Structure 1
Amino acid sequence: MSDATKVAAAFELASEQYQALGVDVQAALQRLAEISISVHCWQGDDVAGFEGDAGSLGDGLAVTGNYPGRARTADELRGDLELAYSLIPGKHRLNLHAIYGEFNGPVDRDEIDVEHFQGWIDWTGDRGIKLDFNPSYFSHPKASDGFTLAHRDAGIRQFWIDHGIACRKIAAAMGAAQSNACVNNFWVPDGFKDTPASRKAPRERLAASLDAIFAEDLPRDQTLDAVECKLFGIGSESYVVGSHEFYMGYAISRDKVLCLDAGHFHPTEVISDKISSALMYVPELLLHVSRGVRWDSDHVVTYNDELQAIMQEIVRGDYLSRVHIGLDFFDASINRVAAWAIGTRNALKALLAALLEPTETLQQLERDGDLTARLALMEEQKTMPLGAVWDHYCESMGVPVGAEWLEKVRQYETAVTSRRSQESVAG
């Protein structure tokens, strides 16, 4: 029996088991095929970007590991992404940071323009990939003391305000070019290592700076402004200006998208529990799906309980049209393309598992007060043949089944990425 025949036979049996629970497998697969994950570019080069000697990473960020083959140019990064997308079922987005423009010479953050991202717009447009964007409030001399938009110096604040305004215009141009709104996410690392004397003043400055950035109304069908909170960072262990409460209030009062990052809360907190609460009051959510280990360490997404809970909340609450799912991890200790494939495939697998739940049955049991049956059915669901449906989906989408994708990554590493450490970059 061929591998394709085995996959088909397993899928047929799995479909029958799900059908017995009232689950339409084909409908679930159709919904999954319509969902696009925003794949983050910064996994491919350890958040270095293409500005040259703009500065060290820092500012609350750290990438560990020295696995060979980091992308050093936009063309190298695009080549790595081409392979990653070929290993992931479905059509997915690309999330760019502002430091990934193609700069022919020194260009400071307040001077970036659409022209510096035209190569990305053309590349994604040719492939039907939609773009998302992020201002980069880190790795810059004017962020060296840990403050940007909340800085006490009005001149430095204005520099970063101008950066934010420029990024909104770039995001709007991306959205117009792709006829689909570009989500533009604002994460600001500002904070203190030790206890502040005033928590109030920096937050007032941050709110005023954001208001100045968002003063111009841009078409929502071109760009959506998102704001991202954080509990603490390296060098801001005691106080982060943009806390969850700050941005929750800001998003509600300014009608912005709220971004929840899975690694930006206390280790005992989970964002899955926040989704339904936040969507009571904000129009849309952006999720940065990550995996913190003891702290906001941005490990590659694995198929763990919280990942499954996040996707269950989105599906059970019927929030797919109001939640933008993006990834945010960077691991330099393993093959970087493999990290993309592992994390994105896991996110999609968890989404599929959520779509294959007998959601209406579970919620009807809850409404009826039959909590015994609800728990029993939830537990039975855990051993349903998800893998057989996932393998069929991958095959139907023309991507490798099971761990077959790993061999393609190894071949690419031998032919391409392993040679980068021995080569110099021209220019």
Structure 2
Amino acid sequence: MSEPTEATEAAEATEAAVRAEKLDAGDELADLRARFVLDDVVYLDGNSLGALPVSVPGHLDDVVRRQWGSLRIRSWDESGWWTAPERIGDRIAPLVGAAAGQIVVGDSTSVNVFKALVGAVRLARLTDSGRDEIVVDATTFPTDGYMAESAARMTGCTLRPVTPARVRGALGGRTAAVLLNHVDYRTGRLHDLPSLTSAVHAAGAVAVWDLCHSAGALPVGLDEHGVDLAVGCTYKYLNGGPGSPAYLYVRRELQDRFDSPLPGWNSHAEPFGMRPDYEPAAGAPRGRVGTPDILSMLALEAALDVWDGVTIEAVRAKSLNLTDFFLECVGQYVAEGRVESLTPAAHEERGSQVALRCEDAGEVMRRLIERGVVGDFRRPDVLRFGFTPLYVGFGDVERAARVLGEVLAG
């Protein structure tokens, strides 16, 4: 094959740019970009930290100046601080396919993974005390692995790391709980939540899902697929801000049996009774621990306003179109063999990011950022690009791929 000429490259660039313009013109979600604080940078790192919604600064100003500054402690009642964990959980619920009353917001993802996993083992042992294995995704984000190891020590279980493809073969009569990621953080691979949950249940075990890289990007269907427990962060596709609180989902049918390893005064049935004996609250509040982190929690609540009138199905459709178009543009602009996509081509196996293996990936990402295209780098050789359909457009995608091609050629 002959090398492309400058004229050919220019024609391809023009063709892709024209196509991007047409796709943006037909984008039903395009107007949502105005709900965020953005500049002329192509921001493709929303899978690490979502952009700032315009509603957050003003709301936080009210929280700090009026609610905290003037009302002070009265705000626990008058401003609804006390009920924020459940109220905000109910706003997240439709985005992950859950009915109200099953999600509580608070603590970090790591803490919630620990609560969910130990709680899952305890649930499994209510019907079979001999279950003494925890199966965990061997390719998981490190914190899930660390927490799974700690949960195994606490419950006297053996930890069994396996790849998601081998989970079914690893299940058996000793399996108590299974911790899996809905979307792989490195590759963007979407795992089959419905069938894997069904397999876990068929083995008599409890399914725990980490939704950090799927909530707000694609349909999850927690209730529909009978997921037992789930956790997720809120600072990625939910745009809650750096360090915004995570959440814990406990399926309604399991709530009266969920035994958290971190009982706190906030999850007590009578939190202000100050009793020395612990009695768990009914429903989702038993997933609480200590005093809610009100400032970051209420920033998250304001951030969720961007979802008003938006369906997760429309977001998913645009996400797939964005990632398809990016891969097509990379194919046009990047010399053959220079990058390798780790993200599955099949829609049913793809989240909302594209991961490219690339020599000198760290240096390449540094140069991309210098030229106004922000993604991120994962050691040793992965370029990650996250596509948040609420504010990323097709023109952004074309520009990102074109600049990537120029950087790699330079």
For the aligned pair, the TM-score class normalised by the smaller chain equals under 0.3
Name the one with the larger strand percent.
2
Higher normalized contact order (CA 8 Å, seq sep 6+, divided by chain length): 2
TM-score of the aligned structures, taking structure 2 as reference length: 0.25
